[in-house]
Structure 1
Amino acid sequence: MNMSVAETTPPPLQPPPPPAVIASLEAVEIELELGRKEIGEEQYETTIRETVEAVGGVLLFQMKIEKEGVGHWVAAIALESAEGREIAIIDLPCSGESASVIPASESDLPIARIAAAYASLADCWATAA
């Protein structure tokens, strides 16, 4: 039986899809830094603020919430990059699990929805001052 070349050649491979979230260098640095620290109950607010400021970010707001029965410190931050401003959400479980820093557009936390609006409001305040 004689097969044509088209019948024996496999289809070309397609490149893998891009990752859903591409973290900025600053976001990765915040995750790593928060993961290295042992944080006491009274230190979460200060530790988050100092870590964000150390990488050149701006802390928009932070709060403690309950998520699936576990306390979490969450924060909305703004990071400047060559592509523009990135609004991200820090999720730091009080249980000692690792922190995550993801773009607000990818977060399922309720504060993610208001983070970008709050950043715009803060810009207006700075302009008015």
Structure 2
Amino acid sequence: MSAELDDAALESMLAESLVEPEIKTVTVTEDDFTAVMTEALEAVGGRLLFKSRVQDKDQEQHVAAASVGEGSEFRILLLTQPVGGGALKVESIAKSNHPLARIAPAYAGLMDVLQAAA
């Protein structure tokens, strides 16, 4: 990843790697979400920080936070997908209004500490 790669380009690159038919009527299972998210993160060299299934407003959704890059190129992304089906959304935590976006940096720091201790 080059230093010129900004959040929008990173989000776009990750979203393009996730291009799949939009699911409208089929429930997206945790395994479905995990498989798509893992494949996308592997494509951009990302690392999963956490994933969860939460109730957000009127819909239940899968949520994952991931880190990509290092140093000045380090970014944290939030990936969300409705359990009831629909497109996977990828956004920088800096732009996200999702409540879990605020805790993602703490998980990134925890992962660094755990790696150093291992």
TM-score class, shorter: 0.7 to 0.9
Q: Look up the match of 2:8.
A: 23
Contact 1:56 1:79 (C-alpha < 8 Å) held by counterparts: yes
Summarize the Cα distance change of 1:62–1:117 in structure 2 as closer, same or farther, 3 Å threshold. Answer: same
Moved more, 89-98 or 48-57: 89-98
Gaps of 5+ in 1: 1-20
* TM-superposition CA deviations, 1:34-61 (whole Å, max 9, x none): 3425675241122212221222111111
Larger Rg: 1
For 1:7-86, what aligned pairs fall within 5 Å after superposition? Answer: 22-25=7-10, 27-37=11-21, 40-41=28-29, 42-80=31-69, 83-86=72-75
User: Quick one: distance in 2 between partners of 1:110 and 1:127?
Assistant: 28
Q: Look up the match of 1:101.
A: 90
C-alpha RMSD over aligned residues = 2.4
Q: With a CA cutoff of 8 Å and minimum separation of 6, indicate the structure with the bigger relative contact order.
A: 2
Deviation above 6 Å: which 4+ runs of structure 1?
none
User: Quick one: distance in 1 between partners of 2:32 and 2:90?
Assistant: 19
Summarize the Cα distance change of 1:54–1:121 in structure 2 as closer, same or farther, 3 Å threshold. Answer: same
Cα shift at 1:99: 2.2
Count of equivalent residues: 108
> What percentage of aligned pairs have identical amino acids?
31
User: Quick one: distance in 2 between partners of 1:61 and 1:37?
Assistant: 25
Summarize the Cα distance change of 1:43–1:62 in structure 2 as closer, same or farther, 3 Å threshold. Answer: same
- Taking structure 2 as the reference length, what is the TM-score of the superposition? 0.75
User: Quick one: distance in 2 between partners of 1:57 and 1:125?
Assistant: 17
Cα shift at 1:97: 2.8
Gaps of 5+ in 2: 1-5
User: Quick one: distance in 1 between partners of 2:68 and 2:9?
Assistant: 8
Contact 1:53 1:59 (C-alpha < 8 Å) held by counterparts: no
